[in-house]
Structure 1
């Protein structure tokens, strides 16, 4: 039998990028294009509208930036010729950093604009002249409506993380943007998941798009191992963190995700007290400079633990993250994929751990449907102290379980109702000598004022 010849290895040279970009790619340490880059770069270079469905950590940012930088080529005029829309300021900052890395040998001018800080400095930079603008939709429209941003020179529009933009309610702003930019342009849309609603957006936004789907929608990165621990309450989750973080050689650089700002602060304070290494926390209430400094410190290795809410689950592109720990289960199920995509980036191996209470197991099962796999479960280590569930926390979990059961079965009365009924079953009313019957409360129609 004749042996089949191995397929030739594709290199960045094959994309006919200019020398400035190839040198920047080499400096960044990229050697072989990822699958999404191999499929997407030639189509964008050829001028097609492209819809790309690709997981975070697969190299999709460079997949659209390299052909975009090739197209824009050099500094020209005052007004932006390309706009990249991002759902969060963290992702906008990350895209800006990627442009800085890849455009280092060009004279291209670029800027990221986002909320959380005043627009004055951003407007001043825009007026100096721009080639590429990265923006969150709200800040873009705010500056445009002030008359400080001219969009008539726009040739390329990129929507990055389009699914997240829809989840966050940005569609009205996106439609407003589409109304004020030139109709003749190249459109690129990227998403990690394929919402049914995204098909509608694609129909009105893209013209005869070429669709690239590198991985099935909402599939975790293959280089990330996953494990689930069922844990009864928040205090036991914290005890589990203390147990895990004793292994300093394994848990070297860790991102911990929580569902709320309150839990983020609680987890950060506990880890700071109980584990070796610096901790930083980022969430919506933190100032922009605080969040930037926290990310930079984590990226540099100065900080071992970064605690974040889902506002930061996209936009954290940091190599060498050893573990992502989901202290709380996300209730927007696609966010699980984005959370764990913070580790195992650029084909490196990573690990994801998720903690779930009894009430959160419902969300685990829904996530498993989305990712089309069961998350491997392991028993809680015997060394971990199991804390008693606080009354208020137990009540909240019981109510949440009731809600889940009612959604599944409209006739379900609720655990509290069943418990009350059960307590009265077979009990004899001493006054009547008959089985106890629950009576409806008597309405008090009024009262007499005491005459004194």
Structure 2
């Protein structure tokens, strides 16, 4: 079995890995190390949870070696604030025996505080695209010394519409530099980014695109509506021994807040929540509490699906199935990390059945359907936005949903009337013909 010594890690980083409890590299870490060290442009495709951050940081830190000069020599661009913090934390983990300076910059906090941190000199900047360009415009730093650019979670950056900012970043750094592009999937937009800016890249793909790791047990429960989902969630979370570290993903901030409102009294200090409407300090505190075990349950909207590397998450629960079904892979990848077992549970209502089918096609295997515990009582009551969605479905698909039985019914023939617009148009044509006949008789 290959070890870190086999890929010729420096003594200083090897010591840090030993202290952190890492005993062998993952496949992505092993395979990208030599090409990056050789200065090649690299595309690394690997599923969430396989150690991509460590994979690119180890050779970069060895290349930088020690603090030097005033301006940054390596730039790492990521899609979210959470991932900035995660990468900085990993740099700190790897560099207790290396004299290197790193800082993270991201929106939502005072830019002057970040400028002060950069003013005394920096070797590595980890940044979200928007705040990086804000920093650049202040002229506090020059970007002429950057030799390595990392685009991490490239698929998410593309999904969030950051292509214009990424193009601007390529314009402000030296033409001669090394590009490293890492992603869980290789979509058409990521491929276009690679074609535009990478030079003869070496592509290293570790697992089939958008696959989930084998040690994650995946199960789905068929649940009719939001209030029933909350009832099932509450029942599952009663078992503190089994559900000892749980991450719950929602499609919307509204649903995240609904869970908090209905379970806050039940869970107490066991509960934390992060989404984009929360202040940055609140989000950092929530993540810290969850990491350290102060809270047992973390509720997150999809903004947090990437970049959270927390050990020993026992369960991921998909309260909603993501409308972008590829996000399912990133969500469930929060558990089953570092070859440990994990469980991913999905709550699926009638409107989400097509999405879960797309997920199954994506991961190329069926997701087991679980039996809802008999103690859980479902309700037919809908919240207001669910009623609106149901009305929209009825108009669009000419079907009616019987919420009590969960069955669909086709629209009866006697109710299938010709649209008024069509009838009015036919009447106008008939009148026009009659008027034409009258004129011809005259």
User: TM (normalized to structure 2)?
Assistant: 0.90
Which is further off, 107-116 or 190-199?
Answer: 190-199
Match in the other structure for 2:239: 247
- 2:311 & 2:125 partners in 1: Cα distance? 25
1:23-52 deviation digits (Å, cap 9, x = unpaired): 001111111111111111111111111000
Other structure's SS at 1:360 match: helix
1:237-257 deviation digits (Å, cap 9, x = unpaired): 011012111211100011111
Q: Does 1:22 align with 2:22?
A: no
Q: Does 1:37 align with 2:5?
A: no
* Matched-pair contact (CA < 8 Å) for 1:241–1:271: no
Match in the other structure for 2:201: 209
* Matched-pair contact (CA < 8 Å) for 1:359–1:397: no
Match in the other structure for 1:77: 69
Q: Does 1:346 align with 2:346?
A: no
- 2:107 alignment partner, one of 110, 115, 135: 115
1:343-372 deviation digits (Å, cap 9, x = unpaired): 111111111100011011111112222222
Other structure's SS at 2:322 match: coil
State the shift of 1:437 in Å.
Answer: 9.9
State the shift of 1:198 in Å.
Answer: 1.4
- 1:258 alignment partner, one of 250, 255, 262: 250
* Matched-pair contact (CA < 8 Å) for 1:86–1:159: yes
Mark the runs of 5 or more structure 1 residues left unpaired by the alignment: 1-8, 407-411, 426-435, 443-452
State the shift of 1:212 in Å.
Answer: 0.6
- 1:96 & 1:424 partners in 2: Cα distance? 62
Give the helix-richer structure, 1 or 2: 2
Q: CA 1:391–1:48 in 2, change beyond 3 Å: closer, same or farther?
A: closer
Q: CA 1:293–1:154 in 2, change beyond 3 Å: closer, same or farther?
A: same
- 2:284 & 2:165 partners in 1: Cα distance? 26
- 1:320 alignment partner, one of 288, 304, 312: 312
1:245-285 deviation digits (Å, cap 9, x = unpaired): 12111000111111111110111222222347521111111
Match in the other structure for 2:276: 284
Q: Does 1:191 align with 2:187?
A: no
- 1:158 & 1:439 partners in 2: Cα distance? 58
* Matched-pair contact (CA < 8 Å) for 2:226–2:382: no
* Matched-pair contact (CA < 8 Å) for 1:259–1:309: yes
Q: CA 1:184–1:391 in 2, change beyond 3 Å: closer, same or farther?
A: closer
Match in the other structure for 2:434: none
Other structure's SS at 1:84 match: strand
State the shift of 1:197 in Å.
Answer: 1.8
Q: Does 1:154 align with 2:146?
A: yes
- 1:304 & 1:227 partners in 2: Cα distance? 21
Q: CA 1:106–1:365 in 2, change beyond 3 Å: closer, same or farther?
A: same
Q: Does 1:66 align with 2:58?
A: yes
1:196-225 deviation digits (Å, cap 9, x = unpaired): 221111111211111111011100122211
- 1:220 & 1:271 partners in 2: Cα distance? 30
- 1:89 & 1:263 partners in 2: Cα distance? 21
State the shift of 1:439 in Å.
Answer: 7.5
Equivalent residues, number:
416
State the shift of 1:59 in Å.
Answer: 1.0
Other structure's SS at 1:315 match: coil
State the shift of 1:399 in Å.
Answer: 4.3
- 1:178 & 1:121 partners in 2: Cα distance? 26
- 1:173 alignment partner, one of 165, 170, 174: 165
Q: Does 1:89 align with 2:84?
A: no
Q: CA 1:368–1:68 in 2, change beyond 3 Å: closer, same or farther?
A: same
Match in the other structure for 2:219: 227
Other structure's SS at 2:116 match: helix
State the shift of 1:422 in Å.
Answer: 4.9
- 1:297 alignment partner, one of 279, 289, 295: 289
Other structure's SS at 1:270 match: helix
Other structure's SS at 1:123 match: helix
Mark the runs of 5 or more structure 2 residues left unpaired by the alignment: 402-408, 425-442
* Matched-pair contact (CA < 8 Å) for 1:111–1:130: yes
Match in the other structure for 1:428: none
* Matched-pair contact (CA < 8 Å) for 1:52–1:190: yes
Match in the other structure for 2:210: 218
Over aligned residue pairs, what C-alpha RMSD do you find? Answer: 2.2
1:269-313 deviation digits (Å, cap 9, x = unpaired): 222223475211111110011000110010000001111100011
- 1:182 & 1:99 partners in 2: Cα distance? 24
- 1:34 & 1:303 partners in 2: Cα distance? 29
* Residue correspondence of structure 1 range 391-402 to structure 2 within 5 A: 392=384, 395-399=387-391, 401=393
State the shift of 1:230 in Å.
Answer: 0.8
